[in-house]
Amino acid sequence: MQPLTNDEIKRELSSFPRFELAKEERVKIAASLLKTETVSKPKKRLVPALFSFVILAALFIGMSTFVLNSLSGDNTWHSGATVYHGKKFSIDPMGAFAVKKLSNDTVEFYQEDKKVGGIEILTENEMHLNISKQNVFESNNLPGFLYPLRFTLDHQKTMEAVQIRHYFFLSEKSKLRYHVYFYSPDVGDSEAEKISRSFRIRE
């Protein structure tokens, strides 16, 4: 069989039936293609947008919780660099220690991992019970403080402290005793007195 010439090939090809789409059908196909493109694009963009929204929501919730806790005094730890404001009292550690909140009535003072004092709210009877367990070296009603004060110097000689300075502030409103105490030598005598003078009752 001889190969076909170019003219013969053209004639053969032109003999095949041709099918053409009507203009309306072409428009329909083009419209459906455009529709699928516009539907698929938002899906691809939706995933990063949702991811960003989740991250922003988590950050917002975290920051809101932090701010609310700071304002309400519900933080467990306070650095001690500024005044500690609890719900029932405040004190300025003056950078000498950090403050750990145990409850609205009780906090403890820490230098790194070592407890060096604290604050607790006591009744008058609880104060006398506390003093009865001390090895009292000195006991005074110190003048010059913002609130009526009973001071005791307690000789302990334990692993925690050699002496404990106890300041029992009286709230004339509730008649409760606010017991502020410092372990010596971790918090020096003059430092303890200076910090205790910053103590404020919030009733």
Domain locations in the chain as residue ranges: 1-72, 76-201
Architecture category of domain 76-201 in CATH: 3-Layer(aba) Sandwich (3.40)
Mean pLDDT computed over 140-149: 89
- Confidence check: pLDDT of 82 > 60: yes
pLDDT band at 68 (very low <50, low <70, confident <90, very high): low
Q: What is the pLDDT of residue 164?
A: 94
Please tell me the chain's helix, strand, coil percentages from 3-state DSSP, rounded to the nearest 5: 40, 30, 35
Mean pLDDT computed over 85-113: 94
108: its two tokens: 């403890």
Which residue shows structure tokens 């334990």?
Answer: 158
101: number of Cβ within 10 Å: 19
Between 58 and 164, name the one with better pLDDT. Answer: 164
Question: Reduced to 3 states, what is the DSSP secondary structure of residue 153?
Answer: strand
Spatial contact of 118 and 109, defined as CB atoms under 8 Å apart: yes
Check: pTM over 0.85? Answer yes or no. no
- Confidence check: pLDDT of 199 > 90: yes
Return mean pLDDT, the chain: 84
Which residue shows structure tokens 């000498």?
Answer: 96
